[in-house]
Amino acid sequence: MNEYVVEMKGIVKNFGQVQAVKHGEFNLRKGEIHSLIGENGAGKSTMMKLLYGMYPIDEGEITVKGEAMKTLSPKIAIEHGIGMVHQEFMLVNELTVLENIILGFEPKKGLTIDFDKARKDVEQYINQYNMEVQLDKKVSQISVGEAQRVEIIKTLMRGADIIILDEPTAVLTPQEARRLFEILNNLKQDGKSLVFISHKLNEVMEISDRISVMRQGGYMGTVNKDETSPLDLTKRMIGREVFLNIDKDYSKAGETILKIEDVWIPSQKETSKIRGMSLHVREGEIVGIAGIDGNGQSELVEAITGLRRVEKGRIILNGEDITNKSPRRIRNSGLAHIPEDRNTRGLNRSMSIEENLVAVRLDEAPFTKGILLSREGQDAYSKDMVEQFDIRPTDYHLPTSSLSGGNAQKVVVAREVSMKKKLLVASQPTRGVDIGAIELIRNTLEKAKKEGAGVLLVSAELEEIISLSDRIIVIHEGRITGEMMASEANENNLGLLMMGGSDAGKDGEKAV
């Protein structure tokens, strides 16, 4: 009997001229958690989308439970017991949890849906794996962690015993991540086989039985968890050591650059409305904003940068009231902005790397000569940015759409940081990028601080908030629930404040 429930051999997948996977290898045993790691563009998500039938393979073999799969589609994958929990949840916000779980697989009583049977079937999974979901609430009313549990139940209801999880902890608090790990271990103990895609090596080391590494589309080997370490995995992923811990300079911060006074900001979601928020950022400091996604971080950043109107209160930048001013006016007042979504607000993907790098400075020297654009000035600047920020490929005339996520993010960071503005608003600056790009971006933010800029950092990664920030402000449902120096913070007391506690205490033991 074959010991593997999944075998992928000699996998090749091309997208036009780009070879996403070259001779990929992966296997999965019954009742194990097998992690798949690698840099952005390494091919790990592509490999699992091939297994789930989202793309056809160009070359290679996929065997599921001993059966060679000549063709695969999501429908065929589901029929063979494969389920996938995507990073972006596939749920309908205005339907209830129960309706979402049974959508497309509704049990019938005559011509109508048998909701009693559906509820009974779903509750079996809730009780068996201790899932804790509220079946009668709309998806728009539940937490991110609960929505993820709904996605897992959906796969189980469709008969999945092979479950792929793509970056499942990306938007979870530490407490929610621990809860997820308990569920995954329960599933493993029940004989389910799990694929865990992640860039968080500490989590990979905690949850995995085996770990496979990909680099630049190729297979770099598989190791048992007990035979490796985060340092070893990093070297396998990118070929060198990476240092994510920042040597912070705790020199005294200077004058206040940004002052937010009793600001009220509207939102379509009740939980993300900003209600009477006040804070400040000074020269030479990084202020971290910690909170579960969807609790007002995006609205706050959009108001500061002129992308969302303020109902009440004032925003002061360098002594100037910028409340409800245009984004261009606010930039001219001394603001640079790394947006949370590089594709919709950070880049024009159809334009070249060079055009994106110079886009907000075309009317400045050395990019213009008189009324004409200066090709020489643009080329010299672009060449410098590509080298300084290790943007690959180095041909800055290529379209930005040809870049991996990490390199596309480097273009945004290079453009914004190079303007040397007094305030840098960095929203999720390392989201979806690999460990090498994380190292570069974190060092870049610390360098900007040391050069006198004030940095407002919004990140879903608590380790990043603690590592980079001098002060940390925690928000929940549009209000500040706590503020502390980074030296006082840990994942426990921050996580409790993120869930609405008004006083977690320095050791995280008290929450009101």
**CATH for the stretch 4-238:** 3.40.50.300
Dist CA 257 CA 455 (whole Å): 10
pLDDT tens profile 11-34? 999 988 778 899 899 999 999 999
pLDDT of residue 434: 73
Q: Find the helix or strand (DSSP H, E) in which 182 lies.
A: helix 174-189
Q: Read out DSSP for 391-433?
A: -SS--TTSBGGGS-HHHHHHHHHHHHHTT--SEEEEESTTTT-
Dist CA 218 CA 200 (whole Å): 20
pLDDT of residue 89: 81
Which residue, among 483, 473, 487, 481, has the nearest Cα to 500 in the 3D structure? 481
pLDDT tens profile 236-259? 887 776 666 666 666 678 999 999
37 pairs with which residues across the strands?
213
Do 485 and 471 form a contact (C-beta atoms < 8 A)?
A: yes
CATH topology classification for 256-498: Rossmann fold (3.40.50)
The per-type count for the chain, helices as H runs and strands as E runs, is: 16, 24
Q: What sign does the CA torsion over 53, 59, 64, 69 have?
A: positive
pLDDT of residue 242: 67
pLDDT of residue 505: 45
Low-confidence ranges of the chain (pLDDT < 70): 1-2, 40-41, 171, 173, 241-251, 432, 502-512
Burial class of 299 by CB neighbour count within 10 A (0 to 12, 13 to 18, 19+): buried
Q: Do domains 4-238 and 256-498 have the same CATH topology?
A: yes
pLDDT tens profile 379-403? 999 999 999 998 988 899 999 988 8
pLDDT of residue 294: 83
Dist CA 440 CA 33 (whole Å): 31
Token pair belonging to 68: 């060679």
pLDDT of residue 249: 66
Domain boundaries, the chain: 4-238, 256-498
Q: What sign does the CA torsion over 94, 96, 102, 107 have?
A: negative
Do 64 and 82 form a contact (C-beta atoms < 8 A)?
A: yes
Q: Would the pTM of this model clear 0.85, i.e. be above it?
A: no
